[in-house]
Amino acid sequence: MKRKIQKPKSKKQMKSKSKNSNPKKPLALLSVWDKKGLKPFAKGLVKAGYDIVSSGGTASFLQKAGIKVTEVSRLTKYPHMLGGRVKTLHPIIHGGILANRGLPDHQRDMKKFGIRQIDIVVCNLYPFEATVSKKNCTLAEAIENIDIGGPCMVRAAAKNFKDVTVIVDPNDYKEVLDEIKAAGGPTSIETRERLALKAFSHTRDYDTAISSYLGGKFAGQSELPREVGVTLEKIQDLRYGENPHQKAAFYRDLSENIKGAVATAKQLHGKELSFNNIVDLDSAWNMASYFADPVVVIVKHNNPCGLAKGATLAEAFKKAFACDRVSAFGSIIAVNREVDEEMVKTVGKLFVEAIIAPSYSKKALEHLMEKKNLRIMISPLLHPPRDMMDFKKVSGGFLMQEADTAQLGLNEVKCVTKIEPGIGEMEDLFFAWGVAKHVKSNTIVFVKDGATVGIGAGQMSRIDATEIAARKAGDKAKGAVMASDAFFPFRDNIDLAAKYGIKAVIQPGGSIRDQESIDAANEHGISMLFTGRRHFRH
């Protein structure tokens, strides 16, 4: 049996009117994936005198709600085809959106081809980002969630903002409806301009997400993409930047979906976050989330002034605070367990700028909120994906690299000295290595009994970093272990460490003078591990 092929309609048929529409009434085209708030908005449009035209699932949704709707296929006289890939891609639709009401030749074409002008376009797009963020998303699934008709309609309506109102965000429904009711007619040109800009930003972000995803798929796993699109959404304006004379704002990267990121943390209490607060919170939260044991991190100026683990958070705080009591004033605290009342009482009257944790007990939160200005943040622990990228701004460009998410395994370390570290020393060495990974280079970290006792951060010389860590630690350096984020260029660091009583060292190795450092460690009875991995943090 031969398949019957549908022929295009004649001009006479194209000019025929749908029984559910009136060509003299304003027309709104509604085609959305996210149907939040759509029902009351559509009812409001009908009440304001609009006809509604919709496609596919949107039409069914509105019809079930008792709203009179003209299906797109009745307007175009063509059915949906290719499994729904082609619905709104038709001159009847795009002519109605793009027609300039003030141009006679446009109006002649509209009349000639039976095209009705479309005054409002409401459209949001297939959930591409949500789809590709799923763990087992296939390339085929991703491709089917690339919207074609939607972006075409949005861009057409935004281009013709002089005559058409375009809405891509359900949060704008109420404002548009209120304006239509108040004016008794179309929206103002100012509203249409604002919404058009928002629409173009919406399609730009959508295309960026697709480009980034396909770039990762097609460029190959071994190389970084030739072009990178970063889409940022403003979270809030800040009072100022690093200094009062600098304007600043906080943005969220829409191309990343990172569980537990500082950009998605919620503020429960306190003053508005400052630029420097956010930078320090990010550093502290990265550190707190890195460790499996209960830890307390105290950060000042983007470096830890104390970090410790303990059986309880109160114990961990006492140990972390003891590392540098002076620098802890005006610090940021991060913990990787629920904050309890005991810990809050241990912190006491110490002036803290902000605290971040995965949760708070009721009593702990009540006590913390007694401090009027304390910024209290809550977030799930940070779980950065292995393929997360790290950007650094330079004049006229960016540096891009894979984020340093590497963890250290027991089978990755090599003891290079005659003496091997004991079990307790091994635990402290791994803890010290985890701390050093998060401290600005050059860095030296002294750890004893699961707590930092001295930190030398951000020094131009590694021997200077060792001297600072030793000065901070004082007598507590005796019996401690030492971590270095990069290799020792000379044996002087080992000699100095021995002078202060360091018993074990962990470092990457890789220097042409490694043997000199190994010999020094053997001479002083110090055990030393090589990790084979450097952790510079500029």
Task: For the sheet with 120-124, list strands across it.
Answer: 70-71, 51-54, 27-32, 120-124, 165-167
301 is catalytic: yes
* N-to-C CA span, the chain: 73
Structure tokens at 22: 């009136």
Structure tokens at 322: 């003891």
Structure tokens at 176: 């548009």
Q: 3-state secondary structure string, 31-85?
A: EECCCCCHHHHHHHHHHCCCEEEECHHHHHHHHHCCCCCEEHHHHHCCCCEHHHC
Phi, psi of 149, deg, nearest 5: -65, -35
d(Cα 439, Cα 437) in Å, to the nearest integer? Answer: 6
Q: Which long-range contacts (CB under 8 A, 24 or more apart) does 177-181 make?
A: 177/41, 177/44, 177/45, 177/48, 180/44, 180/45, 180/48, 181/44, 181/48
Q: Which of 301, 363, 371, 524 is catalytic?
A: 301
- Per the omega criterion (within 30 degrees of 0), is the bond before 442 cis? yes
d(Cα 163, Cα 381) in Å, to the nearest integer? Answer: 48
d(Cα 386, Cα 390) in Å, to the nearest integer? Answer: 11
Structure tokens at 467: 């001297």
The DSSP secondary-structure symbol of 339 reads B
Q: Which of 159, 198, 271, 524 is catalytic?
A: 159
Fill in the amino acid letter for 8.
P
SS3 assignment, position 7: coil
Structure tokens at 197: 């800009």
Would you please indicate which residues are annotated as catalytic (active-site) residues? 159, 301
